[in-house]
Chains A and B, each alone.
Chain A
Amino acid sequence: MARRRRKDPFDKPARRSGGDLSSRRTQFAHFESRTRLIGLGLACLALVLVGRLFYLQIEQFLHYRTLSDENRIAVRPVPPPRGLIYDRHGRLLVENEPAFALELYPERVDDLDDLLDRLVRVLPAAKDQRAAMERRIEKTPPYLPVTLIEGLDTEQVAMFAARQHNFPSIRIRARSRRHYLEGPLTAHVLGYLAKPAKSDLRRIDADLYPPGTRIGKMGLESQYEHELHGVPGQREVETDAFGRVVREISYRKPQPGSNLVLTLDEHLQKITHEALGPYQEASAVAINPKTGGVLAMASRPTFDPNEFIGGLTSKTWADLRGNPDEPLVNRAIQGLYPPASTVKPMLALAGLADGAVDPDTVLTCNGTFQVGQDRHTFHCWREQGHGPLTVDQAVVQSCDVFFYKLASRLGIGPVHEAFDEFGLGTPTGIDLPGERGGLNPGPKWKRKKRGGVWYPGETVMTAIGQGYMQATPLQLGVMAAALANGGYRVQPHLVRGVQNPISGDMSFRDYPRKRIALAAQGSRELALVRDAMRRVVSSIHGTAHRIAGGWVPMAGKTGTAQVVRIDRDRAEELDPEEKARRLRDHALFVAFAPVEDPQIAVAVVIEHGISGGAASEVARQIVDSYFHDRANNR
């Protein structure tokens, strides 16, 4: 028993009953002072807590109240519906359709691999995009939503929605997307939408473009971005910590973008594409010569902008970019071609105005013409020559030698001026981005750009639209329009008016036109040249006689542009047959109809189309269809 007691340090009755009372009293006293000390310490701690509460709740109250409001109130932009685009008859060309995307909230994901595995099981389409999804998730900060897949169709969304409860971290987001009803037919004119590039972000107002908004690229979508886009609305919502909307506090409606009404004729556009169908690379424009309104503008090859919308796969994009035929180029405003003989009516006007020739002057073509100190020989396209010709006959038969001689009489000055008056060498100013201006050469230009003197031989080349000369099909169309409308250089345009989407009010646009001194209304010279152009089609000698007849009398001018060479690096890739095709001449044709009071002016360029004949047939189809539609009120 005693041993046990000694072992147990807790039980020492001897010492306690030993009655060391004074020791016990000091112990009690000490205990009490220590307890007071502890009490004081606890009171101090309590005071610290009260001080902290005072700091947070009284002194910093406003700061934290603001933070709390920011926490719970989120301002969500409401994207505005983009403006619609109609053709001249009010036929819809672009509409907005709903598109669905899946958004991931990474904060709420425990096991990403498992989540994606399950997602692929529900949505097999997600399989190919898995790597891209993982990359996007990695790149995005964890508190921002990540777009997983875009461009889901209704069926896919329904499939996912049925299993939504298994994916609390994924949300379906509905957006509107562009649907181009005519697809490839209007691709170059309308353009397409895409995510803003870095360069876009610098020039646009970030308030108008909340994340995820798309911006017009190319075509009217880009040119009229400001009008089409509209102003986003705002939804002030109370959210929980995961961004889920609890309730709506305020809503400001978005301002829809304005609608565009075009001068384009949807049916004529289709016909134009069909007419160009047989040719690999070609383009055509049809404009109203009185106003400059573009009735049709086609460029081939083309592409389908609807493929760009649902998140273009990089392969499709690479195919488009890498295609040597450059389907993304709008040849009507960006393709540069030697205008060739299509410039001869202008030259005839310049010669008549200058007095270098008068309507009765006869110049003889024997197939060749020599010019300059080295007596360089230039050939007429007709080796045996045309014999004696007046100026109108020279236009009808497109005699080169006649115009070599005429240009030699005139010198480069008046020739350059005449072309300049008709708009060659400067962009037409059409409401499309990326238009090129072509080249109307002259001594000044040569000195500056090439560093040399102008040779008489170059005047001769320029006079038949070859050599340095370059023009876009649209410029040729404007030229044809000027000859058709009695001497006005119109500004070609696609947008006739902008429509307020709410009230439906139209505001029509005015486009300037400029008087061309050379082709004054009613002048004898212009009448002569126009009649010559009529005979190009109707005369048995005319170069476009093959399209004589038809619905309405038509005037025109053919052209055959020599292809000088093929890019050397590209030539090696081509098989011999393709190489031969690419060495063939370009076929050109400008026209207007009817001859009296023309309603339509056309320019057609067919790359490697051999001669103007092919192009003239395209023009005939366009013109016939136009008047056929008009007769049938279409």
Chain B
Amino acid sequence: MIHPDSPWRRFDWAFFLPILGLAVISFIVLYSAGDEDPGLVAGQAARFGVALGVFFVAAAIPPRLLALLAPYAYAVTLLLLVLVPVVGAEGMGAQRWLELGPLTIQPSELMKLVLPLSLAAFLSHQDYPPSAGVIVTTLVLIGVPAGLVVIQPDLGTAVLIAASGLVILFLAGAPMRLFVGLGVLAVASLPALWYMLHDYQRQRLVGFLNPSADPYGAGYHITQSKIAIGSGGFTGKGWLEGTQAQLDFLPERHTDFIFAVMSEEFGMLGALVLLGLYLALTFRGLNIAFQSRDMYSRMVAAGLSTVFFFYVVINIGMTTGLLPVVGVPLPLVSFGGSSLVALLAGLGLVMGISMRRGY
């Protein structure tokens, strides 16, 4: 029996149903992408169940409490990031993981969630509009973890961490010219950045800019993914009928490139449904921000929703050949547990805010 005053009485179905919808799509497409292996789908469903548990826990925690804990969480996560190059495990040419007993964690993933929370907590207590000192402090708070992740090296995650921080700063009312300036600075530093990139990163970029230069090498993923999506047409080839996916032409098809499988088999129609669910979820999140009564909740709800949609744009942009290949899974749909847990934890926080809006 739910107590009459319980926030659960105000459970936000409009926010929750798109999540379930995406999960269902994920299972359907995974069955096809995973060589029709029911075990794979069952495993992912189990992971989804666990992540949903995290979602409800996150929703149950009062946002105020989290705001209080945020600075400590930030400090701990930063410490873990510093530890990565010292004691971290190496994998695929980069050091990203920490082994803590039986647990393998990726502090950079944690930072993606912790940074917007702590920045929202920090900025919601400042004068409005934020002073230059506050802005500089914020930029340092963003720059340090982002820099640590860059040297791992994991450029994609670093960019996402920075973006999640900057969105909060933007919502907090930092002057517009700051963002214009940052944009100009980013474009101007591109050539310098090129020389700092690692070989595999450069290969990915070249493969992105000109996939036909080496269709069997660096550009192979992009070329095959574009063929899969394009050949799907408007209605798609049908479930389990995608030749690109079923015949192994599509690499990493149940993780980063699952959108290509979806688009090949369900066509533009399926892709639009998927995109519609993402938009519904994101705009519901922004709507929740509007209805919240305190700045912290507003910034967290709007910031997390925005960053969530960033993931969508980056993944789809990458599979359709608009963006270079960075290892960003399609939120809630790609196979894998840790990203699912991280995402649903963030969405759970937004849900928690929604349930307490108007107070």
Known contacts A10-B122, A71-B243, A57 near B230 by CB under 8 Å: yes
Known contacts A34-B171, A49-B275, A49-B316, A57 near B263 by CB under 8 Å: yes
> CA A16 – CA B126 in complex, angstroms?
9
Known contacts A34-B171, A57-B263, A68-B227, A240 near B248 by CB under 8 Å: yes
B interface majority secondary structure: helix
Residues of B within 8 A of A52 (CB): 316-317, 320-322
Tell me whether A38 and B286 are in contact (CB under 8 A). Answer: yes
Tell me whether B229 and A53 are in contact (CB under 8 A). Answer: yes
> CA A68 – CA B271 in complex, angstroms?
19
Tell me whether A61 and B216 are in contact (CB under 8 A). Answer: no
Tell me whether B249 and A53 are in contact (CB under 8 A). Answer: no
Tell me whether A241 and B248 are in contact (CB under 8 A). Answer: yes
A140 within 8 A of B: no
Partner of A38, one of B70, B171, B267: B171
Partner of B306, one of A11, A38, A67, A142: A38
Known contacts A42-B309, A143-B216, A65 near B233 by CB under 8 Å: yes
CB contacts under 8 Å to A, within B281-310, are: 282-283, 286, 289-290, 295, 298-299, 302, 306, 309
B334 within 8 A of A: no
Residues of A within 8 A of B290 (CB): 32, 35
CB contacts under 8 Å to B, within A1-59, are: 8-12, 15-16, 23-24, 26-28, 30-32, 34-35, 38-39, 42-43, 45-46, 48-50, 52-54, 56-58
Partner of A57, one of B71, B224, B232: B232
Residues of B within 8 A of A239 (CB): 247
> CA A10 – CA B74 in complex, angstroms?
12
B255 within 8 A of A: no
> CA A630 – CA B118 in complex, angstroms?
109
> CA A63 – CA B286 in complex, angstroms?
39
> CA A419 – CA B216 in complex, angstroms?
68
Q: Output the least CB separation between B358 and chain A (Å).
A: 14
B29 within 8 A of A: no
> CA A52 – CA B122 in complex, angstroms?
39
Partner of B121, one of A10, A48, A142: A10
Tell me whether B125 and A53 are in contact (CB under 8 A). Answer: no
A455 within 8 A of B: no
B43 within 8 A of A: no
Tell me whether A54 and B230 are in contact (CB under 8 A). Answer: no
Chain A interface size band reads: 35 or more
Residues of B within 8 A of A142 (CB): 216
State how many residues of chain B have any CB contact under 8 Å with chain A. 56
CB contacts under 8 Å to B, within A511-553, are: none
Interface string of A411-449 (1 = CB under 8 A from B): 000000000000000000000000000000000000000
Tell me whether A48 and B230 are in contact (CB under 8 A). Answer: no
Residues of A within 8 A of B299 (CB): 31
Tell me whether B167 and A49 are in contact (CB under 8 A). Answer: no
Q: Output the least CB separation between B126 and chain A (Å).
A: 8
A159 within 8 A of B: no
> CA A39 – CA B301 in complex, angstroms?
13
Residues of A within 8 A of B244 (CB): 68, 71-72
CB contacts under 8 Å to A, within B109-168, are: 121-122, 125-129, 167
Known contacts A48-B322, A52-B322, A39 near B283 by CB under 8 Å: yes
A60 within 8 A of B: yes
A238 within 8 A of B: yes
Tell me whether B234 and A58 are in contact (CB under 8 A). Answer: yes
B194 within 8 A of A: no
> CA A48 – CA B317 in complex, angstroms?
9
Tell me whether A57 and B302 are in contact (CB under 8 A). Answer: no
Residues of B within 8 A of A8 (CB): 71
Residues of A within 8 A of B171 (CB): 31, 34-35, 38
Residues of B within 8 A of A58 (CB): 233-234, 268
Q: Output the least CB separation between B30 and chain A (Å).
A: 19
Tell me whether A10 and B125 are in contact (CB under 8 A). Answer: yes
Q: Output the least CB separation between B5 and chain A (Å).
A: 24
Residues of A within 8 A of B321 (CB): 52
Tell me whether B173 and A31 are in contact (CB under 8 A). Answer: yes
Q: Output the least CB separation between A143 and chain B (Å).
A: 5
Partner of A56, one of B216, B226, B247, B306: B226
Residues of B within 8 A of A12 (CB): 125
B67 within 8 A of A: yes
Among A43, A53, A67: residue with most chain B CB under 10 A: A53
Tell me whether A61 and B313 are in contact (CB under 8 A). Answer: no
> CA A35 – CA B284 in complex, angstroms?
12
Q: Output the least CB separation between A246 and chain B (Å).
A: 6
Residues of A within 8 A of B232 (CB): 57
A508 within 8 A of B: no
B45 within 8 A of A: no
B40 within 8 A of A: no
B68 within 8 A of A: yes
Closest to B225 in A: A56
Residues of A within 8 A of B302 (CB): 31, 35, 38
> CA A238 – CA B267 in complex, angstroms?
22
Residues of A within 8 A of B58 (CB): none
Residues of B within 8 A of A597 (CB): none
CB contacts under 8 Å to A, within B161-208, are: 167, 170-171, 173
A107 within 8 A of B: yes
Tell me whether A64 and B125 are in contact (CB under 8 A). Answer: no
Partner of A65, one of B173, B224, B231: B231
> CA A34 – CA B130 in complex, angstroms?
15
> CA A61 – CA B272 in complex, angstroms?
16
Tell me whether B233 and A72 are in contact (CB under 8 A). Answer: no
Tell me whether B230 and A241 are in contact (CB under 8 A). Answer: no
Tell me whether B68 and A57 are in contact (CB under 8 A). Answer: no
Residues of A within 8 A of B170 (CB): 34, 38
Q: Output the least CB separation between A245 and chain B (Å).
A: 11
Tell me whether A242 and B248 are in contact (CB under 8 A). Answer: yes
Known contacts A8-B71, A241-B248, A56 near B320 by CB under 8 Å: yes
> CA A23 – CA B290 in complex, angstroms?
17
B82 within 8 A of A: no
CB contacts under 8 Å to B, within A249-284, are: none
Residues of A within 8 A of B227 (CB): 64, 67-68, 71
Partner of A61, one of B228, B231, B243, B320: B231
Tell me whether A68 and B228 are in contact (CB under 8 A). Answer: yes
Residues of B within 8 A of A15 (CB): 125, 127
> CA A238 – CA B249 in complex, angstroms?
12
CB contacts under 8 Å to A, within B238-294, are: 243-244, 247-249, 263, 267-268, 271-272, 275, 278-279, 282-283, 286, 289-290
CB contacts under 8 Å to B, within A610-627, are: none
> CA A240 – CA B243 in complex, angstroms?
9
Residues of B within 8 A of A107 (CB): 216
Residues of B within 8 A of A67 (CB): 227, 230-231
Residues of A within 8 A of B167 (CB): 38
Tell me whether B231 and A50 are in contact (CB under 8 A). Answer: no
Partner of A23, one of B70, B128, B234: B128
Residues of B within 8 A of A238 (CB): 243, 247
> CA A72 – CA B247 in complex, angstroms?
7
Tell me whether B286 and A45 are in contact (CB under 8 A). Answer: no
Known contacts A35-B289, A53-B271, A9 near B229 by CB under 8 Å: no
Closest to A12 in B: B125
Closest to A11 in B: B125
Partner of B230, one of A10, A26, A28, A63: A63
* Closest 10 pairs (CB-CB, A-B): A64-B230, A68-B231, A240-B247, A27-B128, A56-B230, A241-B248, A57-B268, A64-B231, A241-B249, A240-B248
Given A39-B283, A57-B271, A60-B230; 4 other pairs, CB 8 A cutoff: A38-B167, A38-B306, A49-B317, A72-B243
A-B contact pairs, 20 of them (CB 8 A): A8-B71, A10-B71, A16-B125, A27-B129, A27-B295, A34-B171, A35-B286, A38-B170, A42-B282, A45-B309, A46-B275, A46-B279, A48-B322, A53-B263, A65-B233, A67-B227, A68-B244, A71-B249, A72-B244, A240-B249
